[in-house]
C-alpha cells in the first residue's frame, strides 16, 4: 500500500479525467447505461468489465509498511457535515478505533456505543486523517471521486475509503445530498446494509470510511450469470426484505434499490450500499422524482406523493430482473418505459422458465396502488420465499 504522500498524489491523479456519466453518489434519472455500476463504498462501474475489481485480500494486507510521520491537516469548513456515530460491527474483527468525526466544530467527538473499542487515552480524541490509513488499489471511480481499498494503520482493519472532491460536489450542488447520505447511513446497523464507520475531510476532499464488501458488485455477477435461479433469487429477496423492513422501522426510505446499489460481503451476503437518494421521512409522504427509470413506481411517474411503498415496488422489479435478466418494463425509449410502468404492463418471458410461485410474488409486489402492494413482512411469509430461501447457499459458495 502506498505511503501517505504518494497516496495523496495518486488520489489526485486518479481523479483527472474521471468519467462524468451517472455517478456513484448522485444518480440522475435516465436509462441505465451499459457501464453502470458501483455504489457508495463499493467498486464502481468504471473499471474494465473483463477485469475483476478485487484481488486476494492477502495481496493488499500482507506487506508490512514502514511507519511514516503523521502530519495533521487543518480541517476545512467549506462543506460542513453532521456528526457521525462510529460504532463497531458485531463479529470477530471490529472497525478502526473510534475517533471524533470531523464536523467543523473543534473538540466535538462522535457518540460511542458499548461495542466500540476503547478510545485513545488522551483527553480529547483525535480526528481521523489520511495519515491514519495505508492506501491500496482503486476499487472504482465515480463522478465526484474514487473508492480505494485502505487499511487503518493501528488496527490493520480493512475498509473502503471513498474520496470525494469538494469542488465537484459544489459544482453539482450536491453537498446537501452528501450530508443526508452520511447522516442516514451512519446510523443504520443491519447485516444487509453497508456500514459507514465515519468520515473526515481536508481542504479539497471528503473521505468516507466504509465497510469493505470483499465480493464486489452484485450487478457484475448478474451480468456474468445472465440471471439467477430461484433459490438464489429468493435468498437475496428475503435478505433485502429484512433490510428494508429495518430501514422503514427507522423511517428511512431508500428510493433507489437496484442491482448497481447492492454489494456482496465476504460470505456472499447482500449489502445495500448507496443511500444517495434515501430520505428520513417520519411523515412518510414525499414528492421528489428520483431513482432509476426502470425501477420508478407509478406514483413517481405520475408526480404523486410517495411513501415507503416505493421500496416494495423496487423489490418486485429487482426480483423480476434477478429471474429474467432484464427489468420488467424495459422499452426502447423513456416514453415507452413510462407508459409500461403506468399500465403495469407485466409480461413474463417464456425463457428461462420460472415457477408460478415466483410469478405470484412479483405480481403481488408490482401493484399500481401502493396500498395494495404486499407488505415486506408478508414477503418473508410468501410460500415461494419459504420454499426457496437458503442463506446457507451463500455461505457454501464463500
212 is in an annotated binding site: yes
Alpha-carbon gap, residue 134 to 200, rounded angstroms: 15
On whether the CB atoms of residues 81 and 206 are closer than 8 A, the answer is: yes
- 28 phi and psi, to 5 degrees? -95, 160
Q: Is 162 annotated as a binding residue?
A: yes
What's the gap between Cα 264 and its chain centre?
Answer: 10
Which residues partner with 203 through β-bridges?
none
SS3 content of the chain, % helix, strand, coil (to 5): 35, 15, 55
Q: Which of 36, 132, 256, 311 is catalytic?
A: 256
Cα–Cα distance measured from residue 243 to residue 315, given in angstroms and rounded to the nearest whole number: 11
Give the separation between CA 110 and CA 101, rounded to whole angstroms.
5
Q: Which residues contact 148 (CB under 8 A, 6 or more apart)?
A: 11, 135, 136, 137, 138, 139, 160, 161, 162, 163
**Residue 7 is assigned to a ligand binding site:** no
Helix residue ranges per DSSP H, the chain: 4-15, 58-61, 166-171, 175-185, 218-225, 230-249, 298-301, 309-324, 334-343, 356-365, 376-379, 383-388, 391-397
Which residue from 123, 119, 58, 42 is spatially nearest to 88, judged by alpha carbons? Answer: 119
Helix (H, G, I), strand (E, B) or coil at 263: strand
Q: Is there a binding annotation on residue 392? A: no
How big is the CA angle at 30 (ends 196 and 280), to the nearest 5 degrees?
A: 35
> Is 397 marked within a binding site?
no
User: Cell triple for residue 127?
Assistant: 480526528
- 84 alpha-carbon distance from chain centroid: 17
Is residue 256 among the annotated active site residues?
yes
- Return the C-alpha torsion angle 238, 308, 187, 23, nearest 10: 90
Q: 79-108 as b/e, with b when 16 or more CB fall inside 10 Å?
A: bebebbbbbbeeeeebbbbbbbbbbeeeee
How far are the Cα atoms of 91, 238, 268, 270, 390 from residue 396, in angstroms, in the given order?
Answer: 19, 18, 9, 15, 10
Q: Is 143 annotated as a binding residue?
A: yes
Binding residues for ATP: 143, 162, 211-213, 260-261, 274
Binding residues: 143, 162, 211-213, 260-261, 274
The set of catalytic residues is 256
Amino acid at each position: 500500500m502506498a505511503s501517505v504522500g504518494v497516496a495523496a498524489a495518486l488520489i489526485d491523479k486518479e481523479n483527472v479525467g474521471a468519467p462524468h456519466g451517472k455517478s456513484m453518489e448522485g444518480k440522475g434519472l435516465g436509462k441505465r447505461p451499459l457501464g453502470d455500476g458501483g455504489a457508495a463504498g463499493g467498486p464502481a462501474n468504471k473499471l474494465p468489465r473483463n477485469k475483476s475489481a478485487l484481488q486476494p485480500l492477502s495481496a493488499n494486507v500482507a506487506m508490512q509498511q514502514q511507519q511514516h510521520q503523521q502530519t495533521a491537516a487543518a480541517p476545512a469548513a467549506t462543506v460542513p457535515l453532521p456528526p457521525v456515530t462510529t460504532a463497531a460491527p458485531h463479529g470477530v474483527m471490529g472497525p478502526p478505533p473510534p475517533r471524533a468525526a470531523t464536523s467543523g466544530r473543534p473538540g466535538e467527538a462522535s457518540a460511542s456505543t458499548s461495542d466500540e473499542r476503547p478510545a485513545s487515552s488522551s483527553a480529547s480524541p483525535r480526528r481521523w486523517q489520511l495519515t491514519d490509513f495505508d492506501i491500496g488499489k482503486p476499487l472504482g471511480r465515480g463522478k465526484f471521486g474514487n473508492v480505494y481499498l485502505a487499511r487503518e494503520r493501528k488496527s490493520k482493519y480493512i475498509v473502503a475509503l471513498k474520496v470525494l472532491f469538494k469542488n465537484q460536489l459544489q459544482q453539482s450542488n450536491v453537498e446537501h445530498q452528501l450530508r443526508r447520505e452520511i447522516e442516514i447511513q451512519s446510523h443504520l446497523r443491519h447485516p444487509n446494509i453497508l456500514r459507514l464507520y465515519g468520515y473526515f475531510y481536508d481542504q479539497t476532499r471528503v473521505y468516507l470510511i466504509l465497510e469493505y464488501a470483499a465480493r464486489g458488485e452484485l450487478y457484475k455477477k448478474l451480468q456474468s450469470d445472465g440471471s439467477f435461479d430461484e433459490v438464489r433469487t429468493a435468498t437475496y429477496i428475503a435478505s433485502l426484505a429484512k433490510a428494508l423492513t429495518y430501514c422503514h422501522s427507522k423511517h428511512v426510505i431508500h428510493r433507489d434499490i437496484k442491482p448497481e446499489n447492492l454489494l456482496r460481503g465476504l460470505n456472499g451476503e447482500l449489502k445495500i450500499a448507496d443511500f444517495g437518494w434515501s430520505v428520513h421521512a417520519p411523515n412518510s409522504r414525499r414528492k421528489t422524482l428520483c431513482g432509476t427509470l426502470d425501477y420508478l413506481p407509478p406514483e413517481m411517474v405520475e408526480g404523486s406523493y410517495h411513501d415507503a411503498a416505493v421500496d416494495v415496488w423496487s423489490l418486485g422489479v429487482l426480483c423480476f430482473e434477478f429471474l429474467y435478466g432484464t427489468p420488467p418494463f424495459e422499452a426502447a425509449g423513456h416514453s415507452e418505459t413510462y407508459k409500461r410502468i403506468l399500465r403495469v404492463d407485466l409480461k413474463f418471458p417464456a425463457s428461462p422458465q420460472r415457477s408460478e410461485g415466483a410469478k405470484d410474488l412479483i405480481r403481488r409486489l408490482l401493484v399500481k396502488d401502493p396500498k395494495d402492494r404486499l407488505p415486506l413482512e408478508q414477503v418473508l411469509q410468501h410460500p415461494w420465499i419459504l420454499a426457496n430461501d437458503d442463506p446457507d447457499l451463500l455461505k457454501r459458495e464463500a
